[in-house]
Structure 1
Amino acid sequence: MRTLRCAAAVEAASLALLLANLLTVHTEVVTSLGGPVHGTAYLIAVLAVRRACADRAARWQAWIPGIGGLLAVRRLGRIPARG
């Protein structure tokens, strides 16, 4: 669950950074570093949700780019733990 939280935070922060860069100075260095970071965090979040639970709604939410990881973390926080 810690991996999912970290990946979700990095995913959202990197998207915010990329959008801010796009709307302001559009520096290529930020784009070339931020893009792969965002993509990697997105994939880690999707895989971490898949591994963490069987809740179909959380799995679908994880596929939403940018905020999907955060939505899945919030949903998983509401589901009671098994066992």
Structure 2
Amino acid sequence: MKRATITLPDDLEQALEHFVAEQAVPVQLTAVVQSAVREYLGERGYLPSPAVLRIRPAERGSGKDDVSVSHDQYLTSR
């Protein structure tokens, strides 16, 4: 892991402090900066893209045609 000391201009410092203060769950400044750098480098092709979630429909004839409406019932029944 690489440690770095960075200097932020006043506008970035204020924006970061404002962002951290508004979070419902406490977040560390380090985590915010790492996430921002990861996103920045990922958009430019320097990091691999995260895996894409691929949801596939059930095979035809699964016998269930109301799962999208009655999902709670299906998840709680045994």
Quick check: TM above 0.5?
no
TM-score (norm 2): 0.28
Higher-helix-fraction structure: 1
TM-score (norm 1): 0.26
Radius of gyration: which is bigger?
Answer: 2
